[in-house]
A and B are shown apart, each in its own frame.
Chain A
């Protein structure tokens, strides 16, 4: 997702990257997004609630929201000149009926070149 190509960002929830040295710390970076459920999806989901099981449309919604939160976090880290975000954590809060905030945060750092 976020590593391999030149100039790409290393994102990990580890406190270190094996074999690499941290040469600079830039502090906390974060990315968040608030997502609301689509009314149509909501109606379908409430039908799905009768039989139970996975609510695929909600799963996709959460997946997309998390991708976006991570992307925003990466954008902030990049603007600081970091090449990695370590110790990434997630937090999810339902802030209203049908709306959830997804937060990704971590430490922006610069790793030495391999």
Chain B
């Protein structure tokens, strides 16, 4: 009887994790896509140096961070997947969401402080808890630039590249 009860709790947690988890994921993706459009004009680059090194500009550090966890279902599937190895889509989407979210928060901070260009963007990922309650932190940081005359000096992009630049970053499909 007690075993049956435990099994019931486990299955209920799996079901709650699955349905609530996928709803949260769907909503999060919708929100990410909407905000990525909203922040299109804030450009983010990995380049180590600003495109214009000589004109005096205001430069300051901006960062965005997010801590995410997998739902119970994903954590359980991850345990199974460990037995066989291979690609694990559920965690891929979790980490991708987190990374896009961190970048969006970095862009939000840049815009709030009047900047439309962030250079030298770096990502850092840390596991801050593991086991049955895993939590991962994704952290994005970079230097926001504000030209004194309000202009943005980008180099002329080669043909066909402008669309990628306009999006801020080249990223995998959702």
Which A residues fall within an 8 A CB radius of B? 1-4, 10-20, 45-46, 48-55, 58-59, 61-63, 66, 70, 88, 90-94, 97-98, 100, 114
Measured between alpha carbons, how far is A109 from B137 in the docked complex, in Å?
A: 31
Q: Residues of B contacting A88 with CB < 8 Å? A: 61, 141
Residue of B57, B61, B66 touching A54 (CB-CB under 8 A): B66
Residue of B17, B57, B133 touching A46 (CB-CB under 8 A): B133
Q: How far is the CB of B155 from chain A (nearest CB, A)?
A: 14
Residue of A2, A93, A98 touching B129 (CB-CB under 8 A): A98
Measured between alpha carbons, how far is A55 from B136 in the docked complex, in Å?
A: 9
Given A2-B60, A53-B68, A100 and B126 contact (CB-CB distance below 8 Å) = yes
Given A18-B145, A19-B55, A90-B139, A52 and B61 contact (CB-CB distance below 8 Å) = no
Q: How far is the CB of A71 from chain B (nearest CB, A)?
A: 12
Given A53-B28, A93-B126, A1 and B113 contact (CB-CB distance below 8 Å) = yes
Q: How far is the CB of A37 from chain B (nearest CB, A)?
A: 8
Measured between alpha carbons, how far is A4 from B49 in the docked complex, in Å?
A: 21
Given A2-B61, A4-B58, A15-B49, A54 and B67 contact (CB-CB distance below 8 Å) = yes
Given A15-B49, A92-B139, A51 and B71 contact (CB-CB distance below 8 Å) = yes
Q: Residues of B contacting A14 with CB < 8 Å? A: 48-50, 59, 119-120, 143
- Number of B interface residues, CB 8 Å? 54
Residue of B28, B53, B58, B113 touching A16 (CB-CB under 8 A): B53
Quick one: closest A residue to B98, CB to CB? A54
Cross-chain pairs A/B with CB under 8 angstroms, 12 sampled: A1-B113, A10-B60, A13-B143, A18-B54, A50-B16, A51-B72, A52-B17, A52-B68, A52-B71, A53-B25, A62-B67, A62-B137
Contact of B52 with A by CB under 8 A: yes
Measured between alpha carbons, how far is A17 from B37 in the docked complex, in Å?
A: 30
Residue of A4, A58, A91 touching B128 (CB-CB under 8 A): A58
Total number of residue pairs linking A and B with CB closer than 8 Å: 149
- B60 contacts A59, C-beta separation under 8 Å: no
- B126 contacts A50, C-beta separation under 8 Å: no
Contact of B170 with A by CB under 8 A: no
Given A3-B60, A4-B58, A52-B94, A59 and B133 contact (CB-CB distance below 8 Å) = no
Measured between alpha carbons, how far is A1 from B9 in the docked complex, in Å?
A: 48
Residue of A11, A48, A50, A98 touching B60 (CB-CB under 8 A): A11
- A12 contacts B60, C-beta separation under 8 Å: yes
Q: Residues of A contacting B69 with CB < 8 Å? A: 45, 48-49, 52-53, 55
Q: Residues of A contacting B61 with CB < 8 Å? A: 1-2, 11-13, 70, 88
- B48 contacts A15, C-beta separation under 8 Å: yes
Q: Residues of B contacting A16 with CB < 8 Å? A: 49, 53
